A and B are shown apart, each in its own frame.
Chain A
């Protein structure tokens, strides 16, 4: 399956990219599993952001939430607006 991955703020800078579309291996079903796989594929910075936050299809998500074909998954540090 294919998902669109977005990175923001310090994570975007550390990875040197703001988005990528990736074909995920079989059996990858949750945000947590996606993070483990991405970290093993050269995106270790995901593991180094304190209190990493994520959103699936533009809604805040939990690590156990599912990732499905065509989803937009975003990773970012805690928000600091206002």
Chain B
């Protein structure tokens, strides 16, 4: 299953090793890990809670991976997203992809992350000194995702 939504932390090395599976065709692995920051929108964040829509979240992530695979020559792709209570420095999300060359791997990894930010149903609630607050969507995230529509260049070849 290339998509996992879980409470537990993940192990980058173990996940990448499983994704590669010693496949000699793979020339590139790109991985991204998103972390909880201690400051967001000018406030100190002591913790956060991540909510999701069981069922739809997994479907949305699978659809994003399918789009990436249709667009770039990937061997495999993985998304792990954590939910529940998290603290600053905790990993939130892992995206990893394998391909023959770095261009496809970098581009697909960034595309999956940008699409996830705007299309996968997750919501963050932060704990701050003033109480808890739901995080607002950022215009920059929509702009980052929009960059990928209508663009056909898969990026530089390795």
Contacts and interface: CB of A to CB of B under 8 A. Distances in A.
B116 interface: yes
A81 B56 contact: no
A38 B92 CA distance: 34
B59 A9 contact: no
B146 interface: no
A77 B123 contact: yes
Interface stretch (B23-31, B70-78, B133-141, B149-157): B133-141
Contact of A82 (B53, B60, B116, B134): B116
A81 B134 contact: no
Interface residues of B, number: 28
A37 interface: no
Interface centre among B53, B117, B124, by most chain A C-beta atoms within 10 angstroms, is B53
Contacts, number: 74
Given A74-B56, A80-B134, A81-B117, 10 more contacts: A8-B51, A12-B51, A58-B53, A58-B59, A77-B123, A78-B137, A80-B117, A80-B135, A80-B136, A82-B117
12 contacts: A6-B53, A9-B51, A10-B134, A58-B55, A60-B119, A76-B53, A79-B117, A79-B119, A79-B122, A80-B124, A81-B81, A82-B113
Interface of A: 6, 8-10, 12-13, 51, 55, 58-60, 74, 76-82
Interface of B: 34, 50-53, 55-56, 59-60, 81, 92-93, 113, 116-125, 134-137, 141
